[in-house]
Chains A and B, each alone.
Chain A
């Protein structure tokens, strides 16, 4: 079955710098790749997603890139701010799995002032 690996587990960056979180997936049939942000004491919240028919998607300071050949996708956050501090999860799913998401283990992003 599908397996999603996420790196790094913890990432500390200076406020204003960029942060990059990477995920690799094992099933080449996966076609939907969302990223969720989880703040302390809350449930995860979708911040951006990408489908396999595009290579990149941007939303203000957040972007996701997808490399289907290498089977990896990345979250890019530019001009980081204190409110970006959270745990970020990647996930993958495909049509045949009835769209069941397989999740990465999460990355704790710390923004240093």
Chain B
């Protein structure tokens, strides 16, 4: 079982560049999430998708956009990367809200 797969694992960007982080799950989950993890701050929710066709802002959505392409895939886009977006990004999925989250292995992003 692959679970939640994220690509790429590592990425270095220059300020102003754009990129898309990809996430796919094979557990037929309805809900998917994007988090960022910064030292000493736990995880913060960027965007989530409660079900296919819907997306909602989390705690820290500024500078990001998302697309729920289908039930399996949920992508995160940085249109114009900034150094403040240097972080580790995690995608997660769950059957519904208030349930166990399954996380991918993360993308370490550095913006210079």
**Could you list which residues of chain B lie within 8 angstroms of chain A, going by C-beta atoms?**
4, 40-45, 48, 50, 56, 58-59, 90, 92, 96-101, 103-106
Contacts and interface: CB of A to CB of B under 8 A. Distances in A.
Interface in A38-79: 41-46, 49
Interface of B (DSSP majority class): loop
Contact of A103 (B42, B48, B97, B104): B42
Nearest to A106: B42
Nearest to B44: A103
Contact of B90 (A32, A43, A93): A43
Interface size class of A (residues with CB under 8 A): 20 to 34
Contacts of A91: 42
A106 B103 CA distance: 16
Given A44-B101, A104-B42, 16 more contacts: A34-B100, A41-B105, A42-B105, A43-B103, A44-B43, A49-B100, A89-B43, A93-B98, A95-B98, A98-B50, A99-B96, A101-B45, A101-B101, A103-B44, A105-B41, A105-B42
Interface of A: 4, 6, 9, 32, 34, 36, 41-46, 49, 89, 91, 93, 95, 98-101, 103-106
